[in-house]
Amino acid sequence: MEQAEKNRWLATICYYYEKAYQKRSWRIGLLLLGILFHLVVGVYYLTQRKNKEQIDRKDLAARFLESGQAQALREKLAAQEQKKNAYLGITKSEAQQKRDLDQLYERELKKAQQQWKGTAYQERGLSEYTYLDATRNVLGTWPGFILSLILAWPMYLYLMIVSNATLYFIANRLVMMFFVIIGVTMIVFTLLYLSPSDPANNILGEQATPEQIENFRNLHGLNDSYLTQLFRTVRGVFTFDLGNTYQGSENVVSAILRRFPVTMELTIFALSLSVLVALPAGIYAAIKRNSTFDHLFMFVALIGISIPSFWQGLIFILTFSINLGWLPATYNANNLASLLMPAVVLGTGLMASVARMTRSSTLEVINEDYILTARSKGLSNQRIILRHAVPNALIPIVTVIGLQFGGMLGGSSVTEKVFNISGVGSYIVDKQFVPDIPAVMGGVIYIAIILSIVNMLVDILYSFLDPRIRSRIRSGQTGK
């Protein structure tokens, strides 16, 4: 029983390997990531193929002769030769006729055997011995599997990814994110490189001597060629080393990571507050369409979208901090209440956008035919809304929330400045005015990474909300 279980496990591995091997793009990945193992399989394949061809050749030749087709072919060729010689008036000796017939017979016999070989293989349900057959034979044994695990363990990681639709979908998005980050890095660096402003003059000031400027440029590699600086920047993205800032000589990656928790905390507070208020309000406004609440709701949402965040922040500070003294005017990491006003200010725009999208999406869904069918079955209005309407209305809502969430994680510089929050957004803005090129590059790359990750998570969330999207992911239609 245990042996049968082991054999079944090896058969499963062979099945998934064959399935991945049949796709050309996946096959290239399998071969490259397991190149040492495939060299061994290649030698085994050539040896086995040669032996198999010799056995098959002898077997099929014997079968061809036994079938009587060889004799019929010889008789047919002899009759053709006689007719040809009689028509052309050629006279040959019996020995010459036999020699010519033997040469013609050998040539035609090879062609006939080859054709008969393909027919015989089809009739017997056989196929040519392929490289895939050799690989399956090796992987189907424990010594071969252990050898492949030693020589080609990255191939199994790759096989695990391509064999699972969700993992493959995520890997696809990660590869796309890789190219997006590379493209953003190259474009931003090129624009900064071509900028007419000189970082040395900006940092050191007009009183700096030529020697000081030259030392500054040598220290930060500004005298290197464009390609050298670009390569250094791209390499730094994937080694998490974007250098030090020109002003203060602070490590860029460390500075961003140190400010990221504050930005994350503010973003989560703002997002939670917005969603908790906007979703129920938008759904209720859709249900009570054209009512007093609906008109009032749309008016408030329009104000929420239009109001400038810096003005709202200042009004909040004047009202709740200075006049009423309820909340602190600036952010304090040790006082959670100091995060309430920034979260409300930051979440006001998101709240209004989500509420309006929730209303319009719910209105569109509740007019669909399947909602009318649910009503005709006698289902309660609450069940229809919560069970059938809302889940199908969430796709555009999740899109809006994801975009806004990524933007807030990228840094809400205005809100952070108003409430004196040392977050990523205020850091990037401060460094842009210098301009401190390493810090600006770090901020842009950080935003690109955050937006790419958030978009990937939103795409994955789609599959949980919509069975049709989940079905396309499972069938490999990730680009549709």
Q: How large a percentage of the chain has pLDDT more than 70?
A: 81
CA 274 distance to own-chain centroid: 29
Burial zone of 108 (CB within 10 Å; 0-12 exposed, 13-18 middle, 19+ buried): middle
Range of the domain at 51: 2-153
CA distance 449 to 109: 67
Mean local confidence (pLDDT), 75-82: 72
Q: pLDDT tens digits, residue range 164-202?
A: 777 777 788 888 888 888 888 888 888 888 877 777 777
Confidence at residue 60, expressed as pLDDT on a 0 to 100 scale: 56
Residue 19 within any structural domain of the chain: yes
What SS3 string covers the chain? CHHHHHHHHHHHHHHHHHHHHCCHHHHHHHHHHCHHHHHHHHHHHHHHHHHHHHHHHHHHHHHHHHCCHHHHHHHHHHHHHHHHHHHHCCCCCHHHHHHHHHHHHHHHHHHHHHHHHHHHHHHCCCCCCCHHHHHHHHHCCHHHHHHHHHHCHHHHHHHHHHHCHHHHHHHHHHHHHHHHHHHHHHHHHHHHHHCCCCHHHHHHCCCCCHHHHHHHHHHCCCCCCHHHHHHHHHHHHHHCCCCECCCCCCEHHHHHHHHHHHHHHHHHHHHHHHHHHHHHHHHHHHHCCCCHHHHHHHHHHHHHHHCCHHHHHHHHHHHHHHHCCCCCCCCECCEHHHHHHHHHHHHHHHHHHHHHHHHHHHHHHHCCHHHHHHHHCCCCHHHHHHHHHHHHHHHHHHHHHHHHHHHHHCCCHHHHHHCCCCCHHHHHHHHHCCCCHHHHHHHHHHHHHHHHHHHHHHHHHHHHHCHHHHHHHHCCCCCC
Residue position matching structure tokens 């939670």: 272
Cα end-to-end span (Å), the chain: 45
pLDDT over threshold 50, residue 61 = yes
Confidence at residue 123, expressed as pLDDT on a 0 to 100 scale: 47
CA distance 110 to 340: 88
Of 215-219, 288-292, 464-468, which range is least confident? 464-468
Of 28, 10, 8, nearest in space to 144 by CA: 10
Is 278:354 a contact under the CB 8 Å cutoff?
A: yes
Q: pLDDT tens digits, residue range 238-277?
A: 888 777 887 777 888 888 888 888 888 888 888 888 888 8
Residue 216 within any structural domain of the chain: no
Confidence at residue 111, expressed as pLDDT on a 0 to 100 scale: 65
Confidence at residue 69, expressed as pLDDT on a 0 to 100 scale: 63
Residue 473 within any structural domain of the chain: no
Q: pTM for this structure? A: 0.66
- My answer on whether 262 and 136 are in the same domain is no
Confidence at residue 37, expressed as pLDDT on a 0 to 100 scale: 85
Q: Please give the tally of structural domains in the chain.
A: 2
Confidence of residue 132 (pLDDT cuts 50, 70, 90): confident
Q: What are phi and psi of 166, to 5 degrees?
A: -70, -45
Is 117:60 a contact under the CB 8 Å cutoff?
A: yes
Q: pLDDT tens digits, residue range 453-463?
A: 888 888 777 77
Residue position matching structure tokens 């725009």: 349
Average pLDDT score over the chain:
77
Confidence at residue 110, expressed as pLDDT on a 0 to 100 scale: 64
pLDDT over threshold 70, residue 234 = yes
- My answer on whether 12 and 138 are in the same domain is yes
Confidence of residue 68 (pLDDT cuts 50, 70, 90): low
pLDDT over threshold 80, residue 230 = yes
Q: pLDDT tens digits, residue range 390-414?
A: 777 778 888 888 888 887 776 677 7
- My answer on whether 271 and 389 are in the same domain is yes
CA distance 389 to 374: 10
Instruction: Kindly give, in sequence order, each residue whose CB lies less than 8 Å from that of residue 38, ignoring residues fewer than 6 positions away.
Output: 31, 135, 152
Q: Residues 8, 10, 15, CA angle at the centre, nearest 5°? A: 90
Q: pLDDT tens digits, residue range 30-60?
A: 888 888 888 888 888 888 776 665 555 555 5
CA distance 345 to 92: 109
State which of 153, 185, 218 marks the end of a domain.
153
Here the tokens at position 227 are 């390609």
State which of 137, 153, 169 marks the end of a domain.
153
Residue 372 within any structural domain of the chain: yes
- Please report, for the domain that includes residue 363, its CATH number: 1.10.3720.10
Amino acid at 42: G
Residue 446 within any structural domain of the chain: no
Mean local confidence (pLDDT), 81-94: 71
CA distance 164 to 474: 8
Confidence at residue 124, expressed as pLDDT on a 0 to 100 scale: 47
Residue 63 within any structural domain of the chain: yes
Residue 205 within any structural domain of the chain: no
State which of 134, 153, 172 marks the end of a domain.
153
pLDDT over threshold 80, residue 78 = no
Confidence at residue 480, expressed as pLDDT on a 0 to 100 scale: 41
Is 330:419 a contact under the CB 8 Å cutoff?
A: yes
Confidence at residue 70, expressed as pLDDT on a 0 to 100 scale: 63
Q: How large a percentage of the chain has pLDDT more than 90?
A: 0
Cis peptide leading into 391, omega within 30 of 0? no
| Distance set, CA 195 to CA 5, 199, 223, 289 (Å) | 66, 10, 15, 53
CA distance 17 to 12: 9
How does 434-444 read in b/e, with b if 16+ C-beta sit within 10 Å?
Answer: bbbbbbbbbbb
Q: pLDDT tens digits, residue range 267-324?
A: 888 888 888 888 888 888 888 888 888 788 788 888 877 888 878 888 888 888 888 8
- My answer on whether 130 and 276 are in the same domain is no
Residue 340 within any structural domain of the chain: yes
Confidence at residue 122, expressed as pLDDT on a 0 to 100 scale: 46
Confidence at residue 465, expressed as pLDDT on a 0 to 100 scale: 72
Is 301:375 a contact under the CB 8 Å cutoff?
A: no
